Structure 1
C-alpha cells in the first residue's frame, strides 16, 4: 500500500471527486454534458465519448491536488490512458489518489434495501487495480426504508466485500447510501450507524476502511464513526441534492468531506470553450472544497 496516499486520504484537507458513472448512468452523464444519445450508435462509442469528457475534466487546471485529494474511477476509465499514462497513474502524477468503483450495480429492492449484485470477476478487478496502482475501491448499495433486517444484511455484504479488498492491500470505501427520499431517513441512518460500528469494532488493527455516506438529516449523526480508529476518512455523497444544498448540509457535519459526482460536474458542457469550461469547473471545485474544510 502506498503510505503517502494513505496519509493524504487520512489527513489532507480537500475532497474526493467521483468520476465513476458506469454503463447504466453514463447516458445521463453524457446528456448533462450536452452529448445526446444521437451522437453515438453503440456502447463503445459511448464510452469513448465519456472518456473524452473525463479526460477534459481530469486534465483541467481546476482539477488539482490543492483541493482534490482523491478521485473514483469507473473500470473502463482505469484501463484507458490520459496523455500516455493509465488514468490512475496520471492522477497520481497530479498528486490525486486513484480509487476504483468495483460493484456491478444494484439488485432489486428487498427488505427495504438494494444489495449489490454479485460482483463480476472481483478478484480480476482487484488484481488489475493493483497493476494500475489503484489505492482503493468503492462499492455502493442503497437503503430505502428503516428495515433493520435489510440494513443488517446490506452492511454484512459491504464488509464481506471490504475484507476481500483489504486482502489485496487496498482500502475499500464502504458506501451504504441512504436514499434522500427514504420513507424515514433519520431512522434509517440511526440503524445504519449502529450496524457500521459493530463491523468496524470487529476489524483488526491492520484493517482500515473509508465510509461514503449520505449527508445525514441530523447533523453529526456519524461523528462517532469519524473518530473510529479503523476509519481512514468519512466522505459524503451528494445523493441527488443540488450542489448548493449538499454543500450547505455538509458544512454542518464535522470531520466529513465531500465525494460528489453529479454535483461536481453539473454545469460543465461540451460546447464550452476551454476557458469557460475551466472557470466553471473551478467554481464547483472551490465551493465543494470550502464545504469540506470550513465547518460551521
Structure 2
C-alpha cells in the first residue's frame, strides 16, 4: 500500500496543508493514520476522497455538508455536477463558422477586453470557447497564442504587468476547472503523467497547458504544480508508477544558475526506470548536450511537439 506524507497529500489532492488539518479536526473528513513519530500518513483512498471533496467545494458545496459522505456518495454527487456542466456545454449554441475563425475572433475580443480591464467579459468569453472547442483546440488555438501575445505586449509597453497578472489568474481558473471538473471521467489511456516545475521555478503555464492536452487524449495525470523538490518528485513518480515526468523550466530567476538545473535533472533521470521518461520543456538554462543522448530524456521544443508525442500513445 502506497503511503503519502501530508505535503504529498496536499499536492496530489489540491487541498492546502492547513485546510487538510482543519478538515480533519473540525469535520473528520479524512482522518489519516499516524506513523511511529506521530506524522500523518495518507493512503491513495484518502487522497481520492480529498480530491472529490475539493472538487465539490469548488462547485459550491460546503465541506460541513459533505465531509462524512462515503467515497461512493461523493462520486454520485460529483457525477450530478459534471452532468450539469456537460449538459450546459451541449446546449450552448454553436457558431456556423469554423473553429479556426472562432479562435481568431476570440483572440481579438479577449485582447480588447483585457485592454479595457473588462475581466468579466474575458471570463465569459473563455467559458463560451470551452463549449465550442475541445481541450486541444482551446490550448493551441486560444490560450497559448493569447498568453504569448499578452507577454509580447507587456515587453513592448503596450500592456501592463497588472493586465498580464489579471489574464493569468482568469486562465488558471478556467484551466483548473477543465483539469479536475468537466473532463475528469474521460480517461481512455493507461499512461500516467506527472507535471511539475523544478525547485525555485514558479512559472507553471507550460505544464498547465500540457496537462490540458493530456485531458484531451484521455491520459491519466497528476498535477504537482510549481517548485517541486527533486526528492519529492522522485518519490511521487515511483509511488504513482508514472510513465512520463513532464517538467516545465524557465530562465526567469538569475539566482537559479545552470548548475542547479543540471543537478536537478541529473537526479531525476538517474532515479527513473528504463521504461520511464523525463520530458523537459521551456527555456530553462541547462546543458542539454549532457542529456539528449539518454533514452530516458527528451526535450520539448513546443506545445505542438508535445501534442505530436502524446497523441498516439
Q: TM-score, structure 1 length as denominator?
A: 0.36
Higher relative contact order (CA 8 A, sep 6+): 1
Q: Which has the higher helix share?
A: 2
Q: Which has the higher strand share?
A: 1
Q: TM-score, structure 2 length as denominator?
A: 0.35
Q: Which has the larger radius of gyration?
A: 2
